[in-house]
């Protein structure tokens, strides 16, 4: 049951929150995007839950993905 709830919360995220973060040092992203130290970045939680890097096959509702937690 806990796996089902976790997957439901991942798949149907109730809050589309963006987390503010501040760059602690100068950074280059994707070789052409420069983010200077002190710049605020807003990071979307939804992008994490739909990223195949963190959740393989993110479009599929699969409670068993939480078995290894």
Q: Give the pLDDT confidence score for residue 69 in this predicted structure.
A: 63
Q: How many domains, in total, are found in the chain?
A: 1
Residue 22 belongs to what domain range?
A: 2-58
pTM of the model: 0.65
Q: Is residue 51 part of a domain?
A: yes
Q: Give the pLDDT confidence score for residue 29 in this predicted structure.
A: 85
Q: Is residue 64 part of a domain?
A: no
Span 6-61, pLDDT tens digits: 999 998 888 777 889 999 999 998 878 999 999 998 888 888 889 999 999 999 99
- Give the DSSP letter string of 2-67: HHHHHHHHHHT-S---EEEEE-SS-EEETTTEEE-TT-EEEEEHHHHHT-TTTSSSTTS--GGGGT
d(CA 56, CA 65): 9
Q: Is residue 21 part of a domain?
A: yes
Q: Is residue 66 part of a domain?
A: no
């Amino acid at each position: 049951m806990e796996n089902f709830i976790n997957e439901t919360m991942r798949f149907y995220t109730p809050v589309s929150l963006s987390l503010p973060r501040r760059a602690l040092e100068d950074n280059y992203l994707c070789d052409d995007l420069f983010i200077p130290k002190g710049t605020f970045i807003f990071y979307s939680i939804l992008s994490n839950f739909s990223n195949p890097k963190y959740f393989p096959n993110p479009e599929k509702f699969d409670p068993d993905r939480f078995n290894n937690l």
